[in-house]
Amino acid sequence: MNGFQEFMERYFMPVAGRLAEQRHLKAVRDGIIAVMPLLIIGSVFLIISSPPVETWADFMAPYAAKLSIPVDATFGLLGLIAAFSIAYSLAKSYKMDGLSAGVLSIAAFFVATPLTEDGNIPLNLLGSEGLFIAILLSILTVEIFRFFEQRNIVIRMPESVPPSVWRAFTALIPGAVIIAVVWGIDLLLSAVWNLSLHEIVGAVLREPLQMLGSSFWGAMVAIILIHLLWSFGIHGISVVASVMAPIWYSLTEQNVAAQQAGEELPHIVGQPYMAIWWAVGGSGMALALTLLLVFMAKSKHLKGLGRGSIGAAFFNISEPVIFGAPIVMNPLLIVPFILAPLAVGIITYFTMSIGLVGKPYAIVPWTTPPPFSGILTTGDFRGGILMIVNILVAMLIYFPFFKMYDKQLLKEEADNKEDASIEEKDD
């Protein structure tokens, strides 16, 4: 274990730390998070229009088309909104005008979006299909804007001019260049290969990454990486999601479209699977460990920690347990901390793949307690039963390691009490 720990600290952790703080990845992560409220709202309308109860579903069927309007206005605009929010976040990190950057990024996004034969904007490209080009164009927009601003190649207005006015003039020159560059690239691709930027990005980036991100092995690698990072004190989901979140949201949007159309859902892996199913109580299936602490711990430290953190764990907040037990840098608890979510991830994936439980399609707040989160993400009451089974499985995995650690702490507490008693007698 010491050799592995030394290897991780020397080679893995510095890379993970730099990745977590990388400016562009942080902007992508923060920009995607900004879309979350809309997706949750859209999921509420989706659950209402496609409820898990058959009689309720029959009752809602005449209204399904009307209820799909808020779904299309949320999930269907994922790429467009991300184009603004990512550019805004990146510009703010450079201490630039985020509003102007976001507006220019949206303009670049529309310039790169091909029209239909009727001259209309294809709505499918505003959603998940346009997410990856939205990421690229938002970064390109901010970097070009920054290039001109750093070299003072902008129109400056007197200080007496209102901020809203001078911001518009400051963005004028870089904005014109940004739109011209994107337009020129799009024209070149169309003339040479008869392809649009959307098609190029889809072929080169979106489709291969979605194949990787939607696969069983891709999900298992992500789960392992998240918990390895947590084991050394780094917020694992923040690091991994900064790279993978666009893929997971894109996969979820495809499931939403299939659910609306009454078709079979294409993906198991997506944002609900990666945010909810193997993280009951937070990363590491922390609720399972917390329940053991509350009902079976004998040491004062773990018993007190369990009572103090059970409320947080019920709402999927795992930090009190991760840093309080601690799990970080603790070989006895790191092993089940990785194995429990991995086992739950495998059970959940194969249970859904053979149709025992519906595939997840709805996005719920990550603080939604179990088993309600399992029911709501799948629209299937069996999802709640599976979530309870997963908690029990995780408790079984944690149990032998927990008992060893509890026994170790109990002995230390007894020794400390004995030492304190001897000191009192000596005094």
Q: Could you give the CA distance from residue 167 to residue 140 in angstroms, rounded to a whole number?
A: 19
Confidence at residue 6, expressed as pLDDT on a 0 to 100 scale = 66
* DSSP state for residue 7 in the 8-state scheme: H
Confidence at residue 216, expressed as pLDDT on a 0 to 100 scale = 94
* DSSP state for residue 276 in the 8-state scheme: I
Confidence at residue 83, expressed as pLDDT on a 0 to 100 scale = 94
Confidence at residue 425, expressed as pLDDT on a 0 to 100 scale = 57
Q: Could you give the CA distance from residue 357 to residue 309 in angstroms, rounded to a whole number?
A: 30
From the CB of residue 404, how many other CB atoms can be counted at a distance below 10 Å? 12
Which stretches within 194-232 are classed as H helix?
A: 197-201, 207-213, 216-231
Q: Could you give the CA distance from residue 24 to residue 75 in angstroms, rounded to a whole number?
A: 23
* DSSP state for residue 265 in the 8-state scheme: P
Confidence at residue 177, expressed as pLDDT on a 0 to 100 scale = 95
Q: Could you give the CA distance from residue 207 to residue 81 in angstroms, rounded to a whole number?
A: 21
Alpha carbon distance, N-terminus to C-terminus of the chain: 42
For the chain, give every domain's residue range. 23-213, 233-426
Q: Could you give the CA distance from residue 358 to residue 385 in angstroms, rounded to a whole number?
A: 12
What does pLDDT average to in each consecutive run of 10 residues of the chain (427 residues)? 60 64 84 84 82 68 81 86 94 92 95 86 85 92 94 81 77 93 91 84 77 89 90 79 84 89 91 92 94 93 91 90 87 91 96 95 88 91 95 96 91 73 56
